[in-house]
Structure 1
Amino acid sequence: MRRHLVIFGERTAAEMLAVAEEICHDQFDKIETCFVDPSEDKIGRQCRLLDDAAAEVAYMIGMLDLPLKLRIQQHCQTRGYRPWTLVHPTAYVAKSAQIGFGCFIAPHVAVGIGAVIEDHTIVHFHSSIGHGAHLGRHCAILPGARISGRVRLGDGVLVGSNAFIFQGVNVGSQAQIDALTYIKDDVPERRVVSVRRGG
């Protein structure tokens, strides 16, 4: 049976594609990205690999739009596609850390002892996840961000490039932390915190 890997998204998906082609080329017959227009009803209309009924399809979601991510996940689950986790060999992941399904751990990431990264979370280049930290589903940690020990991120949290979250902080679901922002206090759900708005 043919095996395909489909990576949904745009810029982040292109980065994921480059890593997948580097380390998974012998595990799949074809690997490609699939752009999804949020205004279209049909997921994967542009993706040829999804039309191959005789193939086993694995997928990853490489985008920041949370409602669209959830639509894609539902679409893939109902068709029996399986989420694929990709960890670059230059990333350090502690043996006691747990990485969920459909995650992307980019080059030069560090994931500390006892950290938990739930399904479909993306941890970009040169980021670090501290000991005992817990990242919910569908989070996006952008390049260079630092998540300290025992931090808890709810589902769908976005942490901008080179942001720093102090140890033990709780960040509510769907909160957004702007680039270069230092977080030392808990952040409520759906809050946007920026160096320009205070934090």
Structure 2
Amino acid sequence: MRLLLVIGGGSTALEIRECADLFYKDLFEKVYNVIGDNEKSTLSNIIHDSEVDSFIANNNEVAFIIGFTNQKLRKLFNEKLHACEPVSIVHPTAFISPSATIGEGSYVGATAVVSSNTRVGKGCIVNIGVSVGHDAVVGDDCIFNPGARISGHCQIGSRTLFGANSFIFQGRTVGEDCAIDALTYIDRDIEDKKLCTSNVGGMKVFKNRIF
């Protein structure tokens, strides 16, 4: 049986770890969290960043999933773990339409919905209570925080983040490397690398998202 590395030690990584421990026992012999060298954790089966290379070298059939949102670190770990298999973890209460596809290395949280004919890319986080509408197309490494709503026929570029309870109107396009603030309603197409927020009195679009 394979070993699973959950990259990250808090937040969504903890939810992924719990889901894997509870519902993926038949697929993984043991689940580990990978945390920073200076981080501390009360979890069992912890590996620090500096130990990852030797762990992979000494074990066969290591799989991984990334459980945080920082895109620079996501890229770093995808490159570091290129010899390992990215796997998806889906909570049993989530609904994924039989006509939908989910890319490898993605997480779909509790009560999330991925609707008919929808395509979700690799390495995405579709968090608790998120819905992705019919015929939507989502790029790689997108992050949907709890409660985000993506309407039907939307196009979402890679590495874009949707904050909690944000909403995008049907048929709209959001480009790559964008950030949509929590509770923000997207009623227009958004170009690449834009930051959108409703926290300044009406929806505002800022020129460049800074990572």
TM-based fold match above 0.5: yes
Query: CA–CA distance in 2 between the matches of 1:48 and 1:72?
Result: 11
Deviations 1:82-102 (A, max 9, x none): 001111111111111011100
Alignment partner, residue 17 of structure 2: 17
1:4 is aligned to 2:12: no
Query: CA–CA distance in 2 between the matches of 1:120 and 1:146?
Result: 19
Once the 2 structures are TM-superposed, how far is the Cα of residue 49 of structure 1 from its aligned partner? Answer: 8.3
Alignment of 1:172-191 (within 5 A): 172-191=175-194
Alignment partner, residue 170 of structure 1: 173
Query: CA–CA distance in 2 between the matches of 1:127 and 1:109?
Result: 5
Query: CA–CA distance in 2 between the matches of 1:49 and 1:141?
Result: 33
Once the 2 structures are TM-superposed, how far is the Cα of residue 44 of structure 1 from its aligned partner? Answer: 2.7
CA RMSD of aligned residues (A): 1.7
How many residues are paired up? 191
Deviations 1:98-127 (A, max 9, x none): 111000011101111000000000000011
Once the 2 structures are TM-superposed, how far is the Cα of residue 147 of structure 1 from its aligned partner? Answer: 0.3
Alignment of 1:61-140 (within 5 A): 61-77=66-82, 80-140=83-143
User: Is the partner of 1:21 in helix, strand or coil?
Assistant: helix
Alignment partner, residue 40 of structure 1: none
Query: CA–CA distance in 2 between the matches of 1:54 and 1:137?
Result: 28
1:145 is aligned to 2:144: no
- Give the alignment's TM-score, normalised by structure 1: 0.90
The 4+ residue runs of structure 1 with deviation greater than 3 A are: 46-49
Query: CA–CA distance in 1 between the matches of 2:92 and 2:172?
Result: 29
User: Is the partner of 1:59 in helix, strand or coil?
Assistant: strand
Deviations 1:63-96 (A, max 9, x none): 111111011001111xx20001111111111111
Deviations 1:141-197 (A, max 9, x none): 000000000111101000000001001111110100000000010111111101124
Query: CA–CA distance in 2 between the matches of 1:51 and 1:120?
Result: 20
Q: What amino acid sits opposite 1:176 in the alignment?
A: A
Is 2:167–2:184's contact at 8 Å kept on the other side of the alignment?
A: yes
